[in-house]
Amino acid sequence: MLQRITAYLLIFSLVTVNFTRLFIYAGFELNRNYIAEKLCENRDKPWMNCNGKCYFMKKIKQAEQNKNAEEKQAQKNLFQEAAFHKTADVSFHPILLAVILHPFANSTALERTNTIFQPPRQS
């Protein structure tokens, strides 16, 4: 049940993102008288027949700017994700890092080298 509600909410949110102009226009039409009387910039100039259209256009521009800003941010985020690369995992094995206290403790190796490498003889 929770998954179904979540799916419906996601679908609704994806659909409503594309209808911002429609919502702005619907809000303008529903509140046209209030906008014309209280929020219109040209309410003192009745000969212009603005009736709140200036407010409506301002809201449309603001919605476009918000949309452009969100798109730029999304592109920036995509670029940052593409530029990110995973670092290599480095692990140190304690056996390889063990310190050898006496590296030449094996005397048999030294004895073999004395039989192979001898100084030249003088005749």
**Measured between alpha carbons, how far is 116 from 6 in angstroms, rounded to an integer?**
82
Locate tokens 């809000």: which residue?
A: 27
pLDDT recorded at residue 7:
93
pLDDT recorded at residue 47:
85
pLDDT recorded at residue 8:
92
Q: How far is CA 81 from the centre of its chain?
A: 6
| Res 62 pLDDT > 80 | yes
Handedness of CA 12, 10, 14, 16 (dihedral sign): positive
| Res 39 pLDDT > 80 | yes
| Res 121 pLDDT > 90 | no
Q: What is the pTM of this model?
A: 0.49
- pLDDT per residue over 76-113, tens digit each? 877 766 666 667 777 776 666 666 666 666 556 666 66
